[in-house]
Amino acid sequence: MADSVKDELAALDFAAVSPEEFARIVKGLSTKEINEIMRGDLRRRVLGEVFRRMERQFRPESAGSLDALIRWKVTGESDVVYDVAIADGTCTVHEGRTEAEPRTTLILGDAEFLRLVSGNANPVTMFITRKLRLAGDVGLASGLTRYFDIPKA
């Protein structure tokens, strides 16, 4: 991958990038390119922004009375864990492990995570091909995409 592409991404203000634009960026990158750029500060910034957006892109009308803690473990340069709590029509994101026991845990690499949250991958296909591993409530995990506005690239 050209260093110029990496430099362009490093200079981006991810908070100002629309979900649709983010989906287009992810769609245009190979797994190798994603894994090359998801290092150090850039990785921390990208993951942080994706999880911050989960609260804004949450669809309470779809979640109804759901009360669940979803743990995301993103593997790559290092393991990063975020706990996402859905309860009382709200979505709260916590960086790191909380004391609570998750109802389901999703484990996936950087490229797979970015493809999933940007609408560029099918979670069922990812599970069948073992690019997405699950522990706990598979039914909850299979329905997660309906609780969030997922962009389309």
- Note the pLDDT tens digit of each residue in 23-50: 888 999 999 999 888 998 889 989 999 9
Q: Does residue 27 belong to any structural domain of this protein?
A: yes
Identify whether 63 is part of a domain: yes
Q: Could you give the C-alpha distances from 67 to 88, 104, 141, in angstroms and in order? A: 7, 12, 13
**70-107 per-position pLDDT tens digit:** 999 999 999 999 999 999 999 999 999 999 999 999 99
Asked whether residue 153 is assigned to any structural domain, the reply reads: no
Residue 52 lies in a domain: yes
Domain contains 128: yes
> Rounded to 5 degrees, what are φ and ψ at 73?
-120, 110
Residue 152 domain flag: no
Stated pTM of the model: 0.89
The range of the structural domain enclosing residue 15 comes to 3-147
The CATH number linked to 137 is 3.30.1050.10
Counted domains in the chain: 1
Q: How far is CA 29 from CA 37, 145, 152, in A?
A: 10, 22, 15
